[in-house]
Structures are given as structure tokens and as C-alpha cells.
């Protein structure tokens, strides 16, 4: 047991979905902790018995901020290696947190966007099955409340990111179009950010098991690299 470090790197996993749909994937948590990380998966308000209402990256963003502050205070967590992973809609919450904690000793170490939403207005237009829900949660359509969609879109906050970013996206994603990943990548690249893109050919929103396992390995290789 002598080779076990006193402090461990941390990965805060921001789940996708909305409300009871698309909750924390516990199988993923088991895979992640096997990589030698503390894994924290905050539950957004209004879920799992919590108070309030999940606002798809609105005030629920504070729930991820609170998780980030909490792990910073854990004596067994390495505060210099606290990274964020946002899956699908979780990219909204992860990017928001990384833009808040983007300098000084509290700075986010690295950020992973896996099948992540980049533009919420584009999601509204692409996902006709989500339009009613998005209008209810955000207070209207993009035409009626453009500021609500803009505030939640990672693209609109990309210029505030200062940590290295890894984008992972399947080219055949039917829930969050592949263009979300490519647009985020090119936007960050043009701004001079340290950004890496992993495209997974033929993969949908959730990858096939063998490809998923390879993607997890690739993600942690990137996270642990200097």
C-alpha cells in the first residue's frame, strides 16, 4: 500500500439529459474510478429528491460549481488536478464551471466534452422532439428568448476557457449532431486554445462497447498526460 498517493486526481462528471431523463451512468463511474481518479457526479437540482428545478444549464450550473468547491476542500484530493467532463447536455454545465474557475489556484485542470452540446439554439432546431421541453424550461423559443439560449451555449463562453480541452464526438451522432463538436473545436482553435479533437467514425451518441472502452482509455491518457 506504500505506493498509493496521499492525494488523488479528480474528475467531475456532468451528466447529460434533463430531469429524470439521462441520469448519471453508474457503469461509467465504475470505469472511471478504475483509472485511479476520484469521480464526483453531481445531481442537478430537481433530481434525485433535490429541491428546485433543472434549468438545462441555468441556475443548476451552481450545483456543479458547488461540487467543484467541495472537492477542492477534500484533503485527499489533488486540488491542482481537478478536471471536468461534460457528456451531452452536461457540456453546458462543465464549460460554465471551467469559465468561472479559469485562473489562479482554483483553476480547472482540464476539460472533456464528450458528445457535447455546443449551441443550444441549434439543438432546438435539430431536435424537434425536444422543442416543447426547451420552450418550457427556457421560457420560450430562441426567437422569443434568445438570451436564454445564448447564455447556455458553450460556444458563447468558449473565449473564456483557459484550460486544455478535449472534444470527443461520434460522426453519426443522432442526438447531438457531430457539427457541435467540430464547431466548438474550430472556434477554440481560432482563439488559440489548447484543444484536441477525437472523432469516432460511425459512432452514435453512445458508442459501441468496444469503441467506448477505447474512448475511455484515450480520455484518461489525455487527462494524465503532462
Helices 90-100 + 61-72 axis angle, to 10? 50
Question: What's the CA gap between 201 and 70, in Å, rounded?
Answer: 37
| Residue 83 annotated among the catalytic residues of the structure | no
Q: How far apart are CA 47 and CA 52, in angstroms?
A: 8
Distance in angstroms (rounded) separating the CA atoms of residues 87 and 59: 18
H or E element at residue 97: helix 90-100
* 88 classed as catalytic: yes
Catalytic residue among 79, 83, 88, 141: 88
Question: Which residue in 96, 109, 169, 205 is the catalytic one?
Answer: 205
Beta strand residue intervals within 43-126, DSSP E? 77-87, 111-114
Residue 221 CB-density burial (10 A; 0-12 exposed, 13-18 middle, 19+ buried): exposed
Active site residue ranges: 88, 205
Amino acid at each position: 500500500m506504500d505506493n498509493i498517493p496521499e492525494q488523488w486526481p479528480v474528475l467531475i462528471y456532468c451528466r447529460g439529459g434533463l430531469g429524470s431523463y439521462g441520469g448519471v451512468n453508474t457503469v461509467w463511474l465504475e470505469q472511471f474510478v478504475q483509472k485511479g481518479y476520484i469521480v464526483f457526479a453531481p445531481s442537478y437540482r430537481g433530481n434525485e429528491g433535490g429541491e428546485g428545478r433543472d434549468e438545462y444549464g441555468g441556475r443548476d450550473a451552481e450545483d456543479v460549481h458547488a461540487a467543484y468547491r467541495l472537492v477542492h476542500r477534500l484533503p485527499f484530493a489533488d486540488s491542482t488536478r481537478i478536471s471536468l467532463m461534460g457528456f451531452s447536455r452536461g457540456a453546458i454545465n462543465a464549460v460554465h464551471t471551467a469559465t468561472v474557475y479559469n485562473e489562479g489556484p482554483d483553476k480547472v485542470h482540464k476539460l472533456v466534452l464528450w458528445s457535447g452540446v455546443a449551441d443550444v439554439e441549434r439543438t432546438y432546431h435539430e431536435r424537434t422532439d425536444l422543442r416543447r421541453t426547451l420552450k418550457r424550461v427556457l421560457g420560450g423559443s430562441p426567437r422569443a428568448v434568445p438570451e436564454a439560449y445564448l447564455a447556455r451555449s458553450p460556444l458563447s463562453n468558449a473565449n473564456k476557457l483557459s484550460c486544455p480541452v478535449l472534444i470527443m464526438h461520434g460522426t453519426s451522432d443522432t442526438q447531438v449532431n457531430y457539427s457541435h463538436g467540430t464547431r466548438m473545436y474550430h472556434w477554440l482553435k481560432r482563439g488559440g486554445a489548447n484543444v484536441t479533437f477525437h472523432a469516432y467514425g460511425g459512432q452514435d451518441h453512445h458508442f459501441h462497447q468496444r469503441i467506448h472502452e477505447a474512448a475511455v482509455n484515450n480520455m484518461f491518457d489525455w487527462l494524465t498526460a503532462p
